[in-house]
A and B are shown apart, each in its own frame.
Chain A
């Protein structure tokens, strides 16, 4: 049974790859921040699955820390990291 859960956790890695592609493409800092949020949520799901499949309860604590850090990262990004220029272009598919 835990093999199936391992498999599903690796399916979620596809989601992380999608986030990596978005980080690479941008086009603006907000898109990259959004990808970081995706890592946070998907990471939490993967860790919860692994905690069950590997029977390592401590991974649930790692998931909790992931959730907290993703929230902090978003706030830090908005407050500190992104000093937007007056005419940043973001529209259009990329």
Chain B
């Protein structure tokens, strides 16, 4: 019995028991469903073992949507708790757990997954490649991310969730002040999924540098691919910092080392520094792909080419460089003095320049255009004003002296939600709607989509604008409650109403997926949006080999040129296409990583060692495995292509 006690929840409540039941029932339903419909084999063959970038992208997307609802449920509970003063819906400990997991889930497991989903699906198509450079590593990336996400999510029902904030500052996150295993979950889950992200970074840099279609020089790449390249460079340079910080944190908690402790020379500020040396570039890892998505959607629906292609690229490069030299602005108030704060204040505000250029370039892209208000375009247009407000408040926060007043308040919360939601979430939904026909061969319903947009945009404004005011009125963030006399009540109530609006918007998105899956027309052709870039030059949905013939590219809008200017994309005849075989290794290895992480969290060292050996065994197997893939012959291609064309 003693063995099992460690898995108990330190602060049980009806909500946790309910989620235990819910998780158990869902698991049973999935298992029974799969068995009843005899889908185990299908699941294994088509999904668990797949190395196809398109399917991996879709799996990322489904996971990201699931995490969006997990994080969204957290957000609703937080807003509900603070909607009225002295509310008792949640106690302090649960509120702390919920805002911690909200942050972790949304940043690491939702936003990251969503951008990687779209990069996975779109980038190889945009550059006319067969797949990514290392398809198996790509599968491994996904499964590591997925296992990391699952690991954090089970913390709620096994052993307790982390509760020291998504920033997990020491010494609060140390053993003494956070004795439950929650922070161990945080450390290990982020470590495992971070490893997956790093592999993604390497994979995509190689893919983009080496696998572009003939004729596509770097400056002829579509903007989303450019954004992807820069993002992945940031990933490769930023994530190792997190790896080290998490390793140190884990060792402090489990091996009693003294990195961030308050004894024997430990330095709590080192964690804050390392965390934000990773954490600030992380913000740009999220936002740059979103910029890329808008740079695809706005030209498409303004019916014009992207204005200022070169400045767009240069500004992204500048942003990526600056992103590594601003981290101190997350703790101007740590007492490093006026000089250091002044330097970081200036670098921080400097980011506004390249970002501003991008905003104006998008505006100029619509100049003399022929704007069509489709759902992806609506999100892009909603992005511009809301993000501008989020961005300029960022500049305000960048002024160190004033930041002493904004820091740790709801003003800050309003700022970063108003950049991340229009910047990332809008872009994700816009991108999802835009590339949906590429993924599934039908379109999402425009009418439901527009309703969803207005709820989400309105909800965002209503949920977060009041926080500027309550922040300036002195409401600190992360307070589970406040007294009536503070006068914060009205603003928090407005936020709660806004949060409900957002929830309705997201529910409409899901309903739209359901509705369109059932009722939407499958006869949409290959180019339903009258688009411009190369991914639209193949079929909807994309066949497993992507392009039957490798395209010849002459500009960043090769497909548009092919339509309007007589550029010939496909010159060669059919040739055999080499395909990689599916593999179960990434999935199996990731399961062992999950076991490894779980055992590590609970200090079950024998299991740790066994799972580590199993991981090494997987690597050994992979190293010795001879796998040359297979070929789709020219004959088969010809047949498949004529069928695809005949169907239209």
| A-B interaction | no
